[in-house]
């Protein structure tokens, strides 16, 4: 059976799993309860991201069974699974960020040990060396991508649609480059996130939770890193595809830290949150981000893959307008677009709180 033909059964299974998790969460009271920092007005089940985790695990199991990828690389890709497990426990018991961060750091270090030295990355006419990438940039990037995905999981449909978009485009680019094995986890992530979106699209009936948000960020980061090892997809293409999340989360964090605020304090200062509290609403913002991805960032990502030596320039071209847009929308500031009533339809948050 062709890899692409597996999308439908995985999607249907994801829909069923998400529905089952929702029913279980309602019975066990694993809920996102509204608080002063939340964007939703009623308790909503958590843990919907578990469907994405199971889809990804199924992809790795399939690759292992078919022996289409070295076992060491599969173990490296599997390093996002402990992040999902600690996220699931946190959805239930609220473990605190220190323990979560320790597990994430351990998973990143284990993945890098399994993969070995990271190949140099072209930066225009020069290159970032292997030592700098392996010892500093790769671990920090993986950790940040894991956490920024959690920060950006704050309105209905946003994190799920971003995962679906990035994973589907990456699968196409990887298959076009002949890296069909690495495309499999991307295809399964796409199917899993689409099944989750059936329940999470505004108005959401279940939230992704920490089990899905941190896991999605690290999984995409590990696939991106391995594609760099394979030479099948440029890291600049990945950067451009994820640019909306990277820019909003990074700019918001930097502005808050510069004001002396705690980086891990819950807040609602992201650009997308300001927009969702205004006249736009959750559905409009999620659709706008998807449109921006398709119409602007996708062509740049394809160009970065076709001309990897100039990838950094395509990355800059993608980021600059996003920075200006995020600043205009109030990223990192308490002031923003006019907010809607907390009781209006669609006012939800993707996880328990937004850091």
Give Cα separations from 17 to 52, 60, 198 (angstroms): 9, 18, 11
Which position has the token pair 């199924």? 58
Please give the Cα distance from 153 to 234 (Å, whole number).
26
Dihedral sign, CA of 8, 2, 208, 60?
A: positive
* Token pair listed for 92: 């239930």
Rg over alpha carbons for the chain, rounded to the nearest Å, is 19
Kind and range of the H or E element at 72?
helix 71-77
Please give the Cα distance from 282 to 161 (Å, whole number).
12
Exposure letters 301-317 (e unless 16+ CB within 10 A, then b)? bbbbbeebebbbbbbeb
- Using an 8 Å Cβ cutoff, are 149 and 278 in contact? no
Which pLDDT score is estimated for 342? 34
Chain-centroid distance of CA 111 in Å reads 18
The residues that bridge with 127 in the sheet, in sequence order, are 122
SS3 content of the chain, % helix, strand, coil (to 5): 70, 5, 30
Which pLDDT score is estimated for 347? 34
DSSP 132-172: HIIIIIHHHHHHHHHHHHHHH--STTHHHHHHHHHHHHHHH
Please give the Cα distance from 237 to 161 (Å, whole number).
18
Which pLDDT score is estimated for 265? 76
39 backbone dihedrals φ, ψ, rounded to 5°: -110, 10
Query: Going residue by residue through the chain (355 aa), what tens digit of pLDDT does each one get?
Result: 588 889 999 999 999 999 999 999 999 888 877 654 555 557 789 999 999 999 999 999 999 999 999 999 999 999 999 999 999 999 988 888 899 999 999 999 999 999 999 999 999 889 999 999 999 999 999 999 999 999 999 899 999 999 999 999 999 999 999 999 999 999 999 999 999 999 999 989 999 999 999 999 999 999 999 999 999 999 999 999 999 999 999 999 999 988 888 877 778 889 999 998 876 689 999 999 999 999 999 999 999 999 999 999 999 999 999 999 999 999 888 765 444 433 333 333 334 444 4
Is the pTM for the entire model greater than 0.95?
A: no
Chain-centroid distance of CA 127 in Å reads 27
């Amino acid at each position: 059976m062709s890899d692409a033909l597996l999308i439908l059964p995985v999607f249907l299974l994801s829909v069923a799993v998400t529905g089952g998790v929702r029913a279980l969460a309602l019975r066990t009271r694993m809920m996102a309860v509204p608080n002063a920092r939340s964007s939703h007005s009623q308790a909503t089940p958590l843990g919907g991201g578990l469907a994405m985790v199971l889809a990804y695990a199924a992809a790795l199991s399939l690759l292992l069974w078919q022996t289409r990828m070295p076992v060491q690389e599969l173990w490296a890709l599997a390093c996002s699974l402990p992040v999902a497990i600690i996220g699931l426990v946190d959805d239930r018991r609220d473990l605190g960020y220190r323990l979560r961060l320790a597990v994430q750091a351990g998973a990143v270090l284990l993945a890098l040990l399994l993969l070995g030295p990271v190949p140099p990355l072209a930066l225009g006419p020069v290159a970032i060396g292997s030592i700098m990438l392996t010892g500093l940039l790769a671990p920090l990037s993986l950790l940040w991508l894991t956490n920024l995905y959690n920060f950006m999981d704050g309105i209905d449909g946003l994190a799920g649609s971003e995962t679906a978009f990035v994973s589907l485009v990456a699968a196409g680019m990887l298959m076009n480059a002949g890296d069909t094995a690495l495309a499999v986890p991307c295809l399964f992530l796409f199917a899993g996130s689409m099944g989750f979106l059936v329940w999470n699209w505004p108005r959401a009936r279940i939230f992704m939770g920490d089990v899905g948000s941190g896991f999605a960020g690290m999984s995409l980061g590990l696939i991106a890193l391995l594609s760099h090892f394979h030479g099948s997809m440029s890291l600049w293409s990945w950067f451009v595809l994820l640019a909306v999340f990277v820019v909003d989360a990074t700019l918001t964090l930097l502005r808050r830290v510069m004001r002396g605020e705690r980086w891990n304090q819950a807040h609602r200062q992201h650009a997308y949150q300001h927009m969702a509290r205004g006249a736009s609403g959750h559905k409009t913002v999620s659709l706008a981000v998807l449109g921006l991805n398709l119409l602007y960032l996708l062509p740049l990502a394809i160009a970065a893959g076709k001309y990897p030596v100039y990838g950094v320039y395509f990355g800059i071209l993608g980021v600059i307008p996003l920075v200006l847009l995020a600043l205009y929308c109030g990223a990192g500031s308490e002031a923003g677009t006019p907010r809607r009533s907390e009781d209006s339809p669609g006012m939800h948050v993707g996880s328990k709180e937004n850091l």
